[in-house]
A and B are shown apart, each in its own frame.
Chain A
Amino acid sequence: METPLKAQHLVIFLLLFPLGPALLLAAVRGAGFRRLLVGAGAAATAAASVALAAVLPSGETLWIAFASPFADQAVIVGEIVVTLFLLAACRRIRRREAWIPVVIAAQGLLLGWAEFGRDLPPVATPLYVDPFSALMAAIIGIVGGLIALYSPGYMADHHRRHPEEKDRRRGFFFLIFLFLSAMFGVVFANHLLWLYFFWEITTLCSFLMIGYTGTEEATRNAFRALGMNALGGLAFALAIVLAGTSSSAPTLEFARVAAPGAALLPAALLAFAGLTKSAQLPFSSWLLGAMVAPTPVSALLHSSTMVKAGVFVVVKLAPALHGTRTGFLLALVGGTTFLAAALLAVTQSHAKRVLAWSTVSNLGLIVACAGVGTPETLWAAAMLILFHAVAKALLFLGVGAIEHRVGSRDIEDMGGLIATRPRLAIAMIVGILGMFLAPFGMLISKWACLKALADHNLLLAVLLAFGSGPTLFFWTKWLGKLISVPSGARASDDVVGDERLALSVLVLLTAGACGLFPLAAAWFVDPWILGLFGAPLALLTRSNLLIMAAMLGMLVILPAISFLQPREPRRVPPYLAGANAGGDAFTGALGATHAVSLRNYYLADFFEENAIVRTATGLALLLTVGMLALA
């Protein structure tokens, strides 16, 4: 057959091609040539990922035999190089971080034993692609590509603002493309040793990118990320040792085909690795610390790479965990994280911290869905991954652009953005709407989740109900800040160039994902669920789709109608108890003139950050230990 051959080639192209731009970018110094290379590399990667989605036969899983005998050896050599590199990087650790190299070394030894000490049967098909991994590949290719496209402009500006920092941009762009290649590896790898190799590369890339600026804070946070992900890597190595026996090859398929019970412990260990990578409590602190990196790094880590690798693997394990006590506890880790992170996001005014907690919260919901593991929750999990990737990339890039124009990442400094920089404000508004409001993106998934959880896991349904209140609160008040119009606000410099292109495409993607999500469901998610469970899923009834479409239509038409007013209404100054002193100023005590200054509510004494972090981390730690103990 002609078609599967093409899909195979595209898979291998996506794995290897990004290394080309990566190596070239590591060598190039000129800004113009760099921009060109990044643009071409990103475009080719995105195009290939879209082509893969187009040529993949609907609903099929394609097993890819990789004939080259060198591939396995190359992976082994690669693993050794990564481990040695990380150990060498550990020379800069502090005394209290001394456990990190120990964990990395233990990982290496375990893996060495798994590879050389035992006689594992060869893996016939080390790679595969199914509709879900094709969806992930499209997200990585398009969203990752757009973030890459945005980066040269941002980084040039970053170094203009921070002349004291060493310019390590060549390494930076090398890492971005290496990261993309590794992410494609994670979503296409069937061979567990290959998956582990790509997994470790994502750990390596995030470690180096978080430490990019080279400050003491960045270095410490990079090591925290490395340490937590190394713990996950150790669990991963253990899972490989347990999953591969002399009779069964070490492949990801074990989660689906192994006898129930036999797969549980390795699945639990892999899920643990997924929890560390997707920054679930108790491991969330590394993702919060990762904010010190330049904004494109945050966008990459939060949207299309890294944390998505974690939830991707957890979702893949669902068949082995469904209906077990381990799966139940895993779902509770996710539910606890969802609620606690939403409460924490309420207390933050730093835009990137709000986004970070919201990422952790959404990933918690995905983990909860995977832990429950019914067709409905897995459907919701896949849709959450899609919506979250596009909307969160948009929000991070938007915050980065705001930061370079307003000079602040504080939400309190974004007041009146709709009047001063309307394009940027609309990008942020679209992203925020996509994150929490009906009838847009995430809410569709939450709706599906709540329905499924009411049947299968009441405790999680309650956690979801409680988490949606604070989620609503922190997004709405941010939205309110953006759309408030102080009197006398004047238009100022808006986004331009590649930044504007990346933001515009992401706005269209977010809007498209929200408007056309039934297509994404029909194309990728429904066939995947059908293949996994052998039964079709009819979640979206026609009448509900009509209602959602009508609501979407209203939101498009209403602004048009309200601007068609027959005459401009009379303008009045805001009510200031009759003491207006022109514009947003009022006359206060002793005749002094004060400007109005409005701050949002952060409820810091109501939701005490430290208390929530401590309680939720303790609880999640207990649940995680229980999850492993019961496996």
Chain B
Amino acid sequence: MKTALLGVVLWLIAAPLVGGLLAGADRILSARLQGRVGPPLLQPFYDALKLWDKRGGVVNRFQNFYMVAFFAFVLASGAIFFAGGDLLLVIFALTLAGVMLALGAWSTHSPYSHVGAEREILQMMAYEPMLLLAAVGMYLAGRSFHVNALASSGIPLVLQLPGVFLGFLLILTIKLRKSPFDLSASHHAHQELVRGITTEYSGRSLALFEIAHWYENVLLLGFVWLFFAFNPALGVAAALAVYFLEVVVDNAYARLTWKVTVRAAWIAAAILGATNLAVVKLLLR
């Protein structure tokens, strides 16, 4: 109970710091890959602070509710994860958060937001099967759906679930909003003229979106860590390496169409995920 509480407090306080630093590192690395110097490491924090002070505007009075709900449920999802709770509940809370974000864009009845919202739920439809199969795979290999049991089991999940891990990396690209699968909102100005899903957000609500995204990234890297949790230090190294890889991929690819995205994620889930699950079930039971 105590460690669970500690996990939640750490998540709430440390995750945005780590997430913001990761975002800063991402921007420097991306700049170097593009032959630029890039901003200071703390630039994402400066940006968020600046947004916080801006006077925002809204199209209607409902839209900010959805953004607040998105933020709150991302926090709730991570709190369940870092308290050592049920993986399926983590995924369901994250799904709820994603739905709230999309609904906020819908509520504004703005064409750019609308396209962003449709693409956001297309992305969710694409990654949901693989995400659920990853949880099922961890259950089959680690005998529990609970994060604390999986982390303390000492079972090298990644060795038993190499296919699931690869499939997870693919949908991680979608979740981190990285090219080639950044359909609904990109980090890069050169990818799009108007940023789909957040078009109608400004000021504090936009800052909230950025901070929620930092939280989300840390949570997703937590999933990566869980694959390597038999050796916590190796897990942290693996999570950082995966993030580095995602940034490189982000800069190396242009955006693909939604059809390719859905197909790629579903084929990965069907071939890498399901096959790996079947093998684990046959060999380990």
Q: Which residues of A are interface residues toward B (Cβ below 8 A)? A: 415-416, 418, 437-439, 443, 447, 450-451, 454, 458, 461-462, 464-466, 468-470, 472-473, 476-477, 479-481, 483-487, 543-544, 547-548, 550-551, 554-555, 558-559, 561-563, 565, 568-577, 584, 596, 598, 600-601, 606
Contact = CB atoms under 8 A, between A and B. Distances in A.
5 contacts: A473-B124, A570-B56, A575-B110, A575-B199, A576-B110
Interface in B129-165: 129-130, 132-133, 136, 139-140, 145
Contact of A438 (B96, B111, B259): B96
Contact of B55 (A458, A473, A476, A570): A570
Please indicate which of the listed interface residues B80, B102, B132 has the most CB atoms of chain A within 10 Å of its own CB. B132
A470 B73 CA distance: 21
A424 to B, nearest CB: 17
Contacts of A450: 88, 132, 136
Residues of B contacting A: mostly: helix
Interface of B: 55-62, 64-65, 68-69, 72-73, 76, 80, 85-86, 88-89, 92-93, 95-96, 99, 102-103, 105-114, 117-118, 121-122, 124-130, 132-133, 136, 139-140, 145, 194, 199-200, 259, 262, 266, 269-270, 273-274, 277-278, 281
B259 A606 contact: yes
A554 B72 contact: yes
A458 B278 contact: yes
Given A470-B125, A479-B103, A480-B117, A574 B200 contact: yes
Contacts of A486: 109
The 6 closest A-B pairs by CB, nearest first: A480-B106, A574-B110, A438-B92, A572-B57, A465-B132, A469-B128
A570 B72 CA distance: 23
Contact of A569 (B57, B108, B274): B57
B132 A563 contact: no
Contacts of B118: 477, 600-601
Contacts of A480: 102-103, 105-107, 117
A458 B278 CA distance: 7
Given A438-B95, A447-B92, A458-B277, A416 B58 contact: no
Contacts of B145: 451
Given A450-B88, A571-B59, A573-B59, A466 B266 contact: yes
B103 A569 contact: no
A570 B92 contact: no
A470 B262 CA distance: 11
A572 B108 contact: no
A327 B162 CA distance: 32
Please indicate which of the listed interface residues B80, B88, B113 has the most CB atoms of chain A within 10 Å of its own CB. B88
A547 B91 CA distance: 13
Contacts of A437: 95-96, 99
Contact of B86 (A476, A544, A562): A544
B95 A563 contact: no
Given A458-B278, A462-B277, A468-B129, A572 B59 contact: yes
B161 to A, nearest CB: 13
A573 B111 CA distance: 12
Given A458-B277, A473-B124, A572-B57, A598 B68 contact: no
Nearest to A468: B128
